[in-house]
Structure 1
């Protein structure tokens, strides 16, 4: 497969957004988290330089990055799947629990850091083992 074909296939096979449930009072909503284009994710991380030990290990402040990413790239959905408009993400993040913020941050990390890194490792192993390196 040539490079242009590989790019086209990669665009077609982007992971689906993941919905992270959050409680707002007695109502359930879902924050939609998605895989971003590489430079978009790099921009999010650049806005959230590490200031804690955990941030230093990751290279960015995950919870802060979750808020920044949500402001720019997320949607809030009702439990029924309807898009909520006019979201003030700062107010939402002040209201929800630290556990919920952590789940949103972990999902951003998984889709934009862990999964792509895991894929590179898998491809390297396949290449080293002489196996096929392109996905079917």
Structure 2
């Protein structure tokens, strides 16, 4: 997959969800959201809700456009992120400091059970 920025992915999903969504567009949105790692998926969801919530939040739009089964598969992936990383990935401060140890830890937290985060908060 070509590397896309957070806002590009959120914009792409919004454009695919906006108006009538064909089966091909639904599959493209589903594939895009399933290909990105959970931390990025979480950030895309947060960005989408920050910019497009007046059209329906990310969860509702995903369920409406993709159906409950596919939406649940996508959303379940984002639930694997620890509460610490969820708050960190929502932070506007961290978005400009992606080289910190805490950010790198959260980006690599795919599918790992939450651990003590006191050891990775350095670099902030």
**TM-score normalised according to structure 1 size:** 0.29
Higher relative helix content = 2
Higher relative strand content = 1
